[in-house]
Amino acid sequence: MAEDSVVAVSRGWLNGRGPKEAWMLFASSVAVTHRTLETVDLVIIGIYFAIVFGIGFYFSRKERTSEDYFLASRNIGWFAIGASLFVSNISTEHFIGLAGSGATSGLAVGHFEWLACLMLLLLGWVFVPFYLRSNVFTMPEFLERRFNRNCATYLASISVIAYIFTKISVHLYAAAIVLERVVGWSPLTAAVILVVATGIYTIAGGLAAVIYTDLVQTLILLAGAIALTIIGLDKVGGFAGLRAAVPTDYFHMIKPSTDGDFPWTGIFFGAPILGIWYWCTDQVIVQRVLSAKDEGHAKAGTIFAGFLKVLPVFVLVLPGLIAFALYPQLFHVVDGKVTNGDIAYPTMIVNLLPPGLVGLMIAALLAALMGAMSSVFNSASTMVTLDFYKKFRPAATESQLVFFGRVATGVMVLLGLLWVPYIHYLSPQLYIYLQSVQAYISPPIAVCFIFGILWPRLNGQGAISSLLTGFVLGTVRFVFEVLDRTRHYDSGAIRWLVDMNFLHYAILMFVVCSVVLIGVSMMYPAPERKKIAGLTFATVSEKLATTDVNTPHLQRETRTERLFNLAFTGVLIATVVCLWIYFR
């Protein structure tokens, strides 16, 4: 670009426009697609890897029992728990998917983020006391104590399979496309390096290494994302300039019930079902609070994570709107809808950030990927070790459990590598893809956990029937949805099944699975009172009938802790409600 053009832009002389409008026109005309990393960028990325590996190998040198390796000695404080909860959830598909949905349809996708704030409070105040009191290591173990072994086997199996086919695959896909678009790295090479690097420190250090690297990764991730958002808002002219540059409905989050992606009925009645499963019963998330030093820290960690989950709407979704405003010529619009929104975040990085900040942003993306993937590796190996291996070898020593846990983590890493050649086949609508697949898994699991702690009359026969019913309903919908892409079905019943919004389908599954759970349970005797002691609200004060319980460190929250937790819970709820009202 000629120097006088740049001067014209800086003075606002381009066709009589103001400086901000002139900059936006100039930026859209000179958008670039790749960046070459400068020396300072490479140094920042190198420092990031050094810190991560340093933490991993520090914890690998400590003496390990299974509790040390899988639950970080149950001695983690609230700040580290909250940061780990956040970064375990936020991966590169959030950078790509949330910004992409922002460019496509505005802030509405942020509903999932703000609902997560409330789901985290539900985890802390409702579920955590039961989980800690039962002294379990895994969620299948809790389900086994409440219902039976069959339920535990189902949950462990479906969780590990889901981790491989949804979490690992989507993490790798998102990382590959963003690194290719930003710095031109080969997707296959980048994926292999990141999987191996993540596997090394996860295998070596266990959950403690994962949580403390998550703490560092949270700080890096937020620093990079906030920097990019601030620079982008400055270029677009602040919120006022952004509102003027995008469709008006982009800033309205409450959509009609007929909306194809985010109907308000699905958001407020269907999405919480996904949220309860993911935030309150999924091993990746709950394993963090199980590592807490006491109940007060566990609750405070969930509240802190809730505050962190307010941010993605502003630092991940909003950049999608900014990219659409600054570089409209890069987006393909068909029938008034953007079809390639996934380019939004990479476009922002390569066009707006100076040297140094590019390195910080790449480190943030790597932190997001490695943090989320290490959590998956560690949680999957925990379930494989304790819910399968330990059941077959109950006499296994602590060292054998830790060794098998490391082997299981290595197997998960290998499965991740096997995914690499196929990642380019995945759906480009990343975030919606992940949420829709989860919608077919979550309802029956959420039903069993919710009703399981609410009603002691329910039994194992009802629970496994509900879980299998949900599995069939979810599988049928998923198979027909996939087949419909290649052969369009004309049958009214199949069209009704396939065209129903995935959040509405989650509601239907939840209702059906609830009916099955209650109906079948009533056909069989109620469980013995001593079996469910301490595992339901009705039996919460009764002593647990369990073995190998040695948890003097898991004290109930103190009066001061409770007051602080209640106060910050109120602030968080008020914040989320006010944001919903403002962006309604």
Say how many Å lie between the first and final Cα of the chain, rounded. Answer: 42
Q: Which residue has the tokens 């570089």?
A: 327
Phi then psi for 337, rounded to 5 degrees?
A: -125, 135
Q: What is the DSSP letter of 354?
A: P
Torsion of Cα atoms, 121 then 215 then 63 then 72, to 10°: 10
pLDDT confidence of residue 12:
35
pLDDT confidence of residue 302:
96
What's the angle, vertex CA 115, arms to CA 144 and CA 447, rounded to 5? 30
Mapped onto helix, strand or coil, the DSSP state of residue 244 is helix
pLDDT confidence of residue 13:
32
Determine the residue type at 358: V
554, with CB counted inside 10 A (0-12, 13-18, 19+), is: middle
Closest CA to 34 of 349, 355, 331: 349
What's the rounded Cα separation, in Å, for the pair 194 and 197?
A: 5
pLDDT confidence of residue 25:
40
pLDDT confidence of residue 2:
37
Which tokens is 364 given? 């943030």
- Angle between helical axes of 502-522 and 430-454 (0-180°, round to 10): 20
Phi then psi for 224, rounded to 5 degrees?
A: -65, -45
Can you give the length of the chain in residues?
584
pLDDT confidence of residue 452:
93
Distance of CA 77 to the CA centre of its chain: 21
Q: Write the secondary structure of 300-325 as one string of H (helix), E (strand) and C (coil).
A: HHHHHHHHHCCCHHHHHHHHHHHHHH
- Which positions of the chain have pLDDT values less than 50? 1-30, 428, 546-549, 552-553
369, with CB counted inside 10 A (0-12, 13-18, 19+), is: buried
